[in-house]
Structure 1
Amino acid sequence: MNNKLVKVSWRPALAIILFVAFWEISTRLFSIEVWVLPAPSVIFMEMREVLPVFIPHMMSTIKLVIIGFSIGTTIGLGTATLLHHFDRIRETIYPFLIISQNIPTIVLAPLLLIWFGLGDTPKIIIISMTAFFPITVATLGGFQQTNRELIHYMKMMGATRKQLFTKLEFPHALPSIFSGIKISATYSVMTGVVAEWLGAQKGIGVFMTLAASSYRTPRVFVAIIIAMILSLLFFAFISFLERFFIKWNREEVE
């Protein structure tokens, strides 16, 4: 398993190294100004310098993302469960879920600011909305893909609707559920950064805006790189939970 992982991971690692080397060489070869495109070495030095100042901004963003993502995940799972069990509600509500995703979040942002002010509430709502839809759709799809023969067999054995859901449909849908959660986790970090552009005192988005307004491009790249790292870590954490819960579920079934 480890050998296979090493064989798979060395290619993207090599690609990243080559890309960074090409970037470094190009900025030096063509004498590109730092405020236009800083070299990776300059960004790294800037990161070391601003890290103590940057940490409070990063922690503020992480707090918003965790709260918004948790709310979106909870509502998404609950909505998918409700739509799965009640066909008429699904036929009525599902089209509105699709339509809601055609409204850009940035368009709703001014209204949320008017309704809820400049605090954390509008940002949490935006993050929750971003996390909600992928989880709802993926979970509902997972429920509907349950093996019909197994459902028929359990009904013949006298299983109740609750037992069908808890013993068969929900465990069967776990891979789909975690697929939606992983997508939402990645989007939530970026959405949190963008949401902070709307007005905040701290956060990666605030740090990025201040750096961009003063043409301190290396700091903008520091914020971008940290946001990407946070997204990857969030994704990796969800992937770990996925392996744990699916393995645990299989052991329970066996």
Structure 2
Amino acid sequence: MAGSGHRGPDRNEADGREAVRRDAAADGAASGRAGAAANGAKSARARAGGRTRSRLKAAWPPLAVLAALLLLWEAAVRLWGVEAWLMPSPGRILADAWEARERLAGHAGATLSLTLLGFAGGSAAGFALAALLHLLPLVRAGVYPLLVLSQNVPIIALGPLLVIWFGFGLLPKLLLVMLVCFFPVCVAMLGGLRGADPALERYLRMIGAGRWRRFVSLELPSSAPHLFSGLKLAASYSVTSAVVAEWIGSDRGLGYFMLLSSKGFKTSLVFAGVAIVVALSLLLVAAVAGAERLALRWRSERGGAA
């Protein structure tokens, strides 16, 4: 009994030391996780800062050249006394654009609406046709050459035909923008679908995956970079095609505004419209590029988690 009573306190003391060690280990693990999270956040901030610095480093040379060209333009117009209706200076363009800012904003909104509708519709049609042609090789053999041939038809010649067929409403202008955006998305998507990893395709065939399963699981995800390349091309063309559509027949939009301004010899406002068209194109391409980064990052994180 005495030995038993003597061992009781020793056992309690050992249990206490074990509990202290467990608590210390838990605290150490928690500290390690917190440190890892902090280091991860620091590294993420460092990477973001590095990307920002690299983008600024890449952006300043063309911006400097553009600023120099604008200064030379301003100096040349002032030095040789060029008439404003012939070649306005950048300062005159800014001043006239500011005076007409409300009209410019309204027309830019109309062009942007037409652009987004046509871009979305043309991209969706290009995606759907690319998937159809990929899944049906016989149809692709007959349709794809005609699809390439159709791109030789000038837009400026197709526009009046659409107006004759569908009138002066929204539909002919929308169809024109869709036709322009449709082709790059379709061709890029077809190239991406045909470029899937052959080894993975053989593996899927070996485990009994059907045609639709291979399309959804392998070919469609692998075509994402090609799809976004086509979308960026379509985005860069979409604003210009919307302006051409407005030239052909419209009562609003930047194309209509620039056409009226040129007929009234308001050259500065024509330049202002061109600048807004360029800005809208750059913004749309940047939006597609941002969506591409998010989609590919999500895809890589999902693949890493799997």
TM-score (norm 2): 0.81
Mapped partners of 2:57, 2:107: distance in 1: 37
1:236 aligns with 2:281: no
1:56 aligns with 2:75: no
Decide which moves more: 121-130 or 166-175.
Answer: 166-175
1:209 aligns with 2:259: yes
Q: Which runs of 5+ in 2 are unaligned?
A: 1-50
Query: What aligned pairs does 1:1-254 form with structure 2 within 5 A after superposition?
Result: 1-254=51-304
The RMSD of aligned alpha carbons is 1.0
Percentage of identical aligned residues: 37
Q: Deviations over 1:65-91 (max 9, x none)?
A: 111111101110000000111110000
Q: Which runs of 5+ in 1 are unaligned?
A: none
Offset at 1:161? 2.2
Decide which moves more: 162-171 or 217-226.
Answer: 162-171
Report the residue type matching 1:71 in the other structure: G
Q: Deviations over 1:116-157 (max 9, x none)?
A: 001111100000000000000000011111111121122223
Decide which moves more: 105-114 or 76-85.
Answer: 105-114
Report the residue type matching 2:244 in the other structure: V
TM-score (norm 1): 0.97
Report the residue type matching 2:115 in the other structure: V
Q: Using CA pairs under 8 Å that are at least 6 residues apart, name the structure with larger relative contact order, 1 or 2.
A: 1
**Matched pairs, number:** 254
Report the residue type matching 2:218 in the other structure: L
Partner SS, residue 38 of structure 1? coil
Mapped partners of 2:76, 2:214: distance in 1: 60
Mapped partners of 2:133, 2:237: distance in 1: 24
